[in-house]
Amino acid sequence: MRVLGVVTMVVACVVFAGFLGLAVWQISGAPAPVSLPGLLAVNLEASGVEHPVTAVLLNFRSYDTLLEIGVLVIAGIAGISMARTTSLEDPDLRTSDSLLYALQRWFVPLMLLLAGYLLWAGSDRPGGAFQAGAVLAASGVMMRLGGIPMDFLRPGVLLRLGLALGFTVFLLVAVASALAGEAFLAYPEGFAKPLILVIETVLTFSIAMVLLALFVSAPVNRAQEPEEGERG
């Protein structure tokens, strides 16, 4: 009976993949009528950055980016809502790997440097806030595993402020231009490049904070409440 279940599932997934592949094949037969890369190339200088992907992310489709940072902050909030409310010195999370202890002295500064470079490089080659934030978070994870207590990750206002900072700055920039009479998220003339730089920097920091907070808040607390109407 179980074999029958597995076989039906396999067949169903193969059929699905088949339909999908067929659709891809049919679509690839004709070129697309609208060409966004063309439109992009025309408007690239007006956007303030040289790299087209960064321009799309932080200028043409900046609303998507704003909401997506919001999604990240939500995950962070949900994560810290389940975090241990006492100390963060959980012996479970610290490895006893002496190799790690030794190497992190070399790796962490290099990774911080790499994160800074990725952030700066985003303006005219692949790079940007997310990549830099991910590397920064990874160096934080490494420090945590290596037993370095990071006080700013203790549950409290500072942690929540760090989570929210990048998003807040982005939002303030967005509404500032709206108050000036333009649409939401429209950068004023000539200010595009410095604003994008500021936003990216703060975003890097916040993305790293959210990812790190999610890693650190993994040990869960006992606090729970019974379902409505149930005895605890």
| Binding residues among 76-135 for another protein as defined by CB under 8 A | 77-82, 85, 90, 92, 130
Number of residues that bind another protein (CB under 8 A): 95
- Considering only residues 15 to 34 of the shown chain, the ones binding another protein according to CB under 8 A are 16-17, 19-24, 26-28, 30-34
CB of 57 to another protein, least distance (A): 5
Report the largest interatomic distance among the alpha carbons of the chain, rounded to a whole angstrom: 68
* SS3 of residue 78 by DSSP: helix
226 binds another protein (CB under 8 A): yes
- Environment class of residue 139 by beta-carbon count within 10 Å: exposed (0-12), middle (13-18) or buried (19+)? buried
Residues 163/73, Cβ–Cβ less than 8 Å: yes
CB of 34 to another protein, least distance (A): 4
Query: CA angle 177-178-181, nearest 5°?
Result: 95
* SS3 of residue 116 by DSSP: helix
CB of 133 to another protein, least distance (A): 9
| Closer of 111 and 137 to another protein (Cβ) | 137
Rounded CA Rg of the chain: 23
Stretch binding another protein (CB under 8 A), from 6-14, 94-102, 113-121, 145-153: 6-14
214 binds another protein (CB under 8 A): yes
